[in-house]
Amino acid sequence: MSMLIETASWLADGRNWSGHEGIPARLGEHLVLSGASVGIAAALALPLGTALGHAGRGGTLAINISNVGRAVPTFAVLVLLAIGPFGIGDTTTIAALTLFALAPLVTNSYVGVREIDGDAREAARGMGMSGWQILRGVELPLAAPMIIIGLRLAAVQVVGTATIAALIGGGGLGRFVVDGLARHDDPQIVGGAVLVAALALAVDGVLLGAQRLLAPRGGPTGRSPVGT
């Protein structure tokens, strides 16, 4: 019980909410690290995943990327990059988190495009649409719900994992946890952990909203009508 009270008072303490090491500043760093990583990963993975899905090839590749991605500990990648080529800094964190985010993005965009009803694709081809037009007009809109789910998954996991940036001296909300561990300051550790969890839940909520907006009638594998 006292732990809860001490954590609450740490969170309520005005001194923790100001300055460049305060909660708002760390929150900002956390969002920048996560946003940059998911952004770069999406820019690489979404074209790759949708192209593989459109071509109907490389399925094994897309699924294996996901399996391998799960097997590689992000913590190990972070440390390898930190003592290796990139050194300690934000670049290292963003590179490690980008690698981490690639798997769900590639897999979901591939599966999203691949699982579209073959009839829809056939109909579009029968109407004389080119491959590019089918991709833009039929496949992408139908795959959108699945792609958004992948984006949501990647974003939530990256926000959570970005905590370990602090282990190599980076910023973000993980700082509170790591500094707290070093100083045996339990309220700060738990306070930091609560903040990260809350942020992850908030990001999940916002993206869930986006998902519902984009796929009002589609289920998880979204069969919403094609927009005109």
Binding-site member from 5, 43, 61, 76 for another protein (CB under 8 A): 76
Could you say which of 75, 117, 122, 183 contacts another protein (CB under 8 A)? 75
Q: Are 186 and 10 in contact (CB under 8 A)?
A: no
CA angle 38, 41, 44 (to 5 degrees): 150
**Residue 1 sits in the site that holds another protein (CB under 8 A):** no
Question: Which residue in 93, 86, 98 sits closest to 37, CA to CA?
Answer: 98
> Helix (H, G, I), strand (E, B), or coil: what is residue 90?
helix
What would the x/- binding string for another protein be over residues 135 to 154, using CB under 8 A?
-----------x--xx--x-
Please identify, using beta-carbon distances, which residue of 44 and 79 lies nearer to another protein: 79
158 in Cβ contact with 101 (< 8 Å) = yes
- Does position 181 interact with another protein (CB under 8 A)? The reply is yes
| Of the candidate residues 53, 69, 141, 222, the single one contacting another protein (CB under 8 A) | 69
Q: Is 110 within 8 Å of 186 (Cβ atoms)?
A: no
Q: Name which position in 60, 118, 213, 227 contacts another protein (CB under 8 A).
A: 60
Do 11 and 191 contact (CB within 8 A), yes or no? Answer: yes
172 binds another protein (CB under 8 A): no
Residues 6+ apart with CB under 8 A from 140: 50, 113
> Which residues lie near another protein (CB under 8 A)?
3, 60, 63-64, 66-67, 69-77, 79-80, 82-84, 103-104, 107-108, 111-112, 146, 149-150, 153, 156-157, 159-161, 163-164, 167-168, 174, 177-178, 180-181, 186, 189-190, 192-194, 196-197, 200-201, 204, 220
